[in-house]
Amino acid sequence: MGNSTIAERLQEIKDQIKNAEIASGRKEGCVRLCAVSKFHPLESVVEAMRANQFLFGENRVQEAFEKFTEIRERFSPEENKAELHIIGSLQSNKVKKAVSIASCIQSVDREELLAEIEKQCAKLEKDIEIYFELHTGEDSKAGYESLDALLKSVELCAKGNFPHIKPRGLMTMAPFVDDEARIRKSFSLLREAKEKINSEFPSLEITELSMGMSGDFKIAIEEGSTMVRIGTAIFGEREYK
Ligand SMILES: *Cc1c(COP(=O)(O)O)cnc(C)c1O
- Residue 140: per-residue pLDDT: 77
Q: Which atom of ligand 1 is nearest to the CA of 232?
A: 8
- Residues with Cβ within 6 A of ligand 1? 36, 38, 59, 87-88, 173, 213-215, 229-233
The number of residues making up the chain comes to 241
- Residue 78: per-residue pLDDT: 87
* One pLDDT digit (tens) per residue for the chain, 241 residues: 568 999 999 999 999 999 999 999 999 999 999 999 999 999 999 999 999 999 999 999 999 999 999 999 999 888 889 999 999 999 999 999 999 999 999 999 999 999 999 999 999 999 999 999 999 987 778 999 999 999 999 999 999 999 999 999 999 999 999 999 999 999 999 999 999 999 999 999 999 999 999 999 999 999 999 999 999 999 998 876 5
Residue nearest to atom 11 of ligand 1 (CA): 229
Say if CB 58 and CB 86 are below 8 A apart. yes
Q: Which atom of ligand 1 is nearest to the CA of 59?
A: 15
- Residue 84: per-residue pLDDT: 98
Q: Which atom of ligand 1 is nearest to the CA of 217?
A: 9
Q: Measured between alpha carbons, how far is 127 from 120 in angstroms, rounded to an integer?
A: 10
- Residue 102: per-residue pLDDT: 97
Residue of 12, 44, 53, 87 best suited for mutating to test ligand 1, as the one with most atoms within 8 Å of CB: 87
Residue of 32, 36, 55, 176 best suited for mutating to test ligand 1, as the one with most atoms within 8 Å of CB: 36
* Distance from residue 159's CA to the centre of ligand 1 (Å): 32
Please state, in angstroms and as integers, the Cα–Cα distance from residue 214 to each residue in 34, 188, 198, 207, following that order. Answer: 11, 18, 28, 22
Asked whether the CA dihedral 226, 227, 233, 234 is positive or negative, the reply is positive
Q: 135-149 burial by CB neighbour count: b if 16+ within 10 A, else e?
A: bbbbeeebbbeebeb
Q: Measured between alpha carbons, how far is 93 from 119 in angstroms, rounded to an integer?
A: 12
- According to the 3-state scheme, what is the secondary structure of the chain? CCCCCHHHHHHHHHHHHHHHHHHCCCCCCCCEEEEECCCCCHHHHHHHHHCCCCEEEECCHHHHHHHHHHHHHHCCCCCCCCEEEECCCCCHHHHHHHHHHCCEEEEECCHHHHHHHHHHHHHHCCCEEEEEEECCCCCCCCCECCHHHHHHHHHHHHCCCCCCEEEEEEECCCCCCCCHHHHHHHHHHHHHHHHHHHHHCCCCCCCEEECCCCCCHHHHHHCCCCEEEECHHHHCCCCCC
- Residue 2: per-residue pLDDT: 64
* Distance from residue 2's CA to the centre of ligand 1 (Å): 21
